[in-house]
Amino acid sequence: MQPDRVTLRRFPIFADLTPEELDQIAERLETIELAPGEELFAEGDPGQSCYFLHLGRISVERATTPGQYEMLAKLDAPTVIGEMAFLRNAPRSARVVAIFPSVLWEMQGSDLDALASSGSAAAYKVMRWIAGSLSDRLADTNNRLIEIYAQPYKSIMELKERLRHLTPGFVSVGMDEVDDLE
């Protein structure tokens, strides 16, 4: 199932591309189909490509202990996956697993580099969108950190609840110890 202009236009990353630029992107995408539970990539895998989720739902997860994962996000189509490692050509920071049958399109970093080398504005527009998206996430993370430091008691109680669900045999922190942190 190769993408066409109309389908690609559903993705915010491609909203500003001309029809010709959409064609340039479409011809470089490879289709990947995943069954529920199938892994797209693992935490630590090389980040040499990014993915565009066309159909389905995926889970982004981080290892908490060997063989145990915490879900960071559920993502529905249309969305971009793996762009952080892709832009940096760095190892994947999380694993991605299909929740439902999913269809994705993969773009190799070398294909984006080739577009940029050819002078295509599509490469610039894609990289600019990714940079903006990552910048928005960084701002959200900064705001969350401010909340954590502004309200340490609430943050510790939220962490305590998360640990209780993640860690078998979790030893509860007594309220006196938590109250001493205020």
Give per-residue pLDDT as tens, 68-101: 898 999 999 999 999 888 888 889 999 999 999 9
pTM above 0.85, yes or no: no
Determine which helix (DSSP H) or strand (DSSP E) holds 131, and give its type and residue range: helix 121-150
Average pLDDT value for residue range 146-171: 72
Pick the closest to residue 85 from 26, 45, 112 (CA basis): 45
Structure confidence at residue 98 (pLDDT): 98
Architecture of domain 5-144: Sandwich (2.60)
- Residue 20 corresponds to which tokens in the numbers above? 């010709």
SS (H, E, C) the chain: CCCCHHHHHCCHHHCCCCHHHHHHHHCCCEEEEECCCCEEECCCCECCEEEEEEECEEEEEEEEECCEEEEEEEEECCEEECHHHHHHCCECCCEEEECCCEEEEEEEHHHHHHHHHCCCHHHHHHHHHHHHHHHHHHHHHHHHHHHHHHCHHHHHHHHHHHHHHHCCCCCCCCHHHHHHCC
Confidence class of residue 148 from pLDDT cuts 50, 70 and 90? confident
Give per-residue pLDDT as tens, 18-45: 999 999 999 999 999 999 999 999 999 9
Q: Which residue has the higher pLDDT, 147 or 50?
A: 50
